[in-house]
Structure 1
């Protein structure tokens, strides 16, 4: 029987409805963590990666979505992977480190020796077992996943400096105004339980300062508007930055893919990255077909078993088709996510787009985007229940739910 000190738990931060507003209209009816990428909910890729960790005892999802929104998923994924998955709802936002501390008693129930912490809005190959091994060798409080990016894009993330030989984190700054390093924080960590003491120290220090402060009621009011509550602790600014250079934090660099999912455009890109990863990790998930007796499939494609795709359609690369989708004769799909209960009629083309639940695309219609994932109108997004009538062209548009398009539109937001 394995000893308790070998147990590992994982915590995935899933945020809440006040976060991820840039993900609209796709998050109006479905919490962002449950939005499907490559046919699986966004958070599913994190959970599957956690399953590969040796001696994993439990997975916790922490956020402030309503519990009912996660109840069905948590139940089904626990049974599917045979590992306990629990959703923990915050009473209010406590910050990334504060949330961890808020549920410390629950997280430490099985006395784990290590705690993984993952942000839900990142997409990567999650080399968690290798991270854990490196962390044990380093012998520090925590190890963070890092990656090199272009100098131009680095300022959008937490930049850091690490010792090239020991991998110790020497300096960390969140979204600096001037260039610090092309090495950035990936939002994936492994800690020892000592992380709770570090978080508690921040809260205690804040409380002490508040108690010692002697100001007028007006000054106190002004100060209160500028500071966070004592139990609101951010992992990056409040923990990583102060502990850098103190031989407590270390880095593990990934050479694989990594992206941050803030917008629908990035979700489309990440769906393609996960589809490509399936080729090596889960090839049985991917569809195939040569156009003789079945649909022509090009590149990496996922088709839900309940979907009906006409044999004369051509699909791929980087296409994900969800449940109960109907794809007609002669349809061409390229780099797109097609969500549940969509109908795409004969000879329509969908490219660089996300087609929302229960939408309909008419015969000979064309729904497409330029494929610039970072631009607001770089891809086309159809919200839930959108109807595109026959022979209508929609290019680089965002269309909110339950709209009907009977004329062509280009680079517009249809409210």
Structure 2
């Protein structure tokens, strides 16, 4: 029976500056967790989902960014959502399980009965209250959010086998070379505090092996290149795999959307997924307009209140417009993210693209791509403070910050 006194905490892994290199050039001057999707910072979506957890006592963000880089956001979102949020800076990368263990004393301050663990770069509906109910029913140490994907794409993720009746996790393997299952790990978990004992067991086992090993200095050097430090513990290979099939771990399957946000292309796709979700969770965030007193809005569109959009513009579907953006007459926007302080002049077109902060798109210009979210040049990316002059066409290209384009480009990376 659930006690009304039981407390729950959530831990969101946000990574650090050595992570997210595939997200460049969008992460040059903005932390990846703060990059806006559907008008909200990437990390805001899992934080908002945590707010729905019953008896939530606190949310922790764990990573190795400098504290000052996240301080303003953490303070503002904590005030906005009326929930205590703390950023915990690792001294170095410890792995997803190791990072959790490193801050175990802080995480357990409120003596929570359960601990949610989420990855910041996961995009889904985060069915956390339902996961918790199922987790309590199963009675194990942990429950893993899972989803079915195509057999062709499964090997890009952690594949697992679960008992179809009890949902017990029977087998887990990270990115296997041969097909194991179309059921994959979503990177969202709920654990009892027993998880800390399991993580400690991995570290202790490594220490014991190191102390027992009697090898020459050459062999020790060879061995060191193959093993992780004792305090670097991966949740997938080091915890899930060995505990599978021992009635400790269970699965909760989602049939909603799920994506990993590793590249700019995927951020554009995930922005559209969150916009569609707003229809059910936050309809007040979606814009509307019929082209008379305000712009024509097609499908799901977010427009920041400070943005100025001409009534003759046509916006959508799947468009997110950030603060202080200025959209001129006759502009057409579709499937794009327009970041802060951008100006788009009359009759310009932007489709399947991300336009960076303080950039300028001239009259009758065109910035577009094919919309293949997985391809390197599948979306057009305009970096920060880029000027695209009048009547210039940018197709399937990436333009790095502080450039001026006087001529049209196609399938190029402008350094």
TM-score, normalising length from structure 1? 0.99
Residues 152-204 of structure 1: CA deviation (Å, up to 9, x unaligned): 00000000000000000000000000000000000000000000000000000
Distance 1:251 1:343 in 2: 47
Distance 2:270 2:4 in 1: 36
Partner SS for 1:178: coil
Instruction: Determine whether 1:302 maps to 2:302.
Output: yes
Residue 226 of structure 1 deviates from its aligned partner by: 1.5
Distance 2:165 2:225 in 1: 43
Residues 292-351 of structure 1: CA deviation (Å, up to 9, x unaligned): 111100000000000000000000000000000000000000000000000000000000
Residues 90-132 of structure 1: CA deviation (Å, up to 9, x unaligned): 0000000000000000000000000000011110000000000
Distance 1:216 1:151 in 2: 45
Displaced runs of 4 or more, over 6 A: none
Gaps of 5+ in 2: none
What aligned pairs does 1:24-39 form with structure 2 within 5 A after superposition? 24-39=24-39
Residue 221 of structure 1 deviates from its aligned partner by: 1.6
Does structure 2 retain, via aligned residues, the 8 Å contact 1:4–1:110?
A: no
Aligned residue in 2 for 1:241: 241
Aligned residue in 1 for 2:169: 169
Distance 1:398 1:327 in 2: 22
What aligned pairs does 1:146-295 form with structure 2 within 5 A after superposition? 146-295=146-295
Q: CA RMSD in A?
A: 0.9
Distance 2:150 2:215 in 1: 46
Aligned residue in 1 for 2:143: 143
Aligned residue in 2 for 1:89: 89
Partner SS for 1:226: coil
Residues 38-58 of structure 1: CA deviation (Å, up to 9, x unaligned): 000000000000000000000
Distance 1:340 1:292 in 2: 26
Distance 2:158 2:85 in 1: 29
Partner SS for 2:225: helix
Distance 1:408 1:247 in 2: 60
What aligned pairs does 1:352-367 form with structure 2 within 5 A after superposition? 352-367=352-367
Distance 1:312 1:318 in 2: 18
Does structure 2 retain, via aligned residues, the 8 Å contact 1:96–1:234?
A: yes
Does structure 2 retain, via aligned residues, the 8 Å contact 1:321–1:339?
A: yes
Partner SS for 1:187: strand
Residue 225 of structure 1 deviates from its aligned partner by: 1.7
Partner SS for 2:27: coil
Distance 2:17 2:370 in 1: 29
How many residues end up aligned between the 2 structures?
A: 414
Distance 1:228 1:172 in 2: 20
Does structure 2 retain, via aligned residues, the 8 Å contact 1:13–1:118?
A: yes
Aligned residue in 2 for 1:315: 315
Aligned residue in 2 for 1:98: 98
Residue 4 of structure 1 deviates from its aligned partner by: 8.2
Partner SS for 1:284: helix
Residue 3 of structure 1 deviates from its aligned partner by: 6.5
What aligned pairs does 1:121-136 form with structure 2 within 5 A after superposition? 121-136=121-136
Does structure 2 retain, via aligned residues, the 8 Å contact 1:310–1:328?
A: yes
Residue 219 of structure 1 deviates from its aligned partner by: 1.2
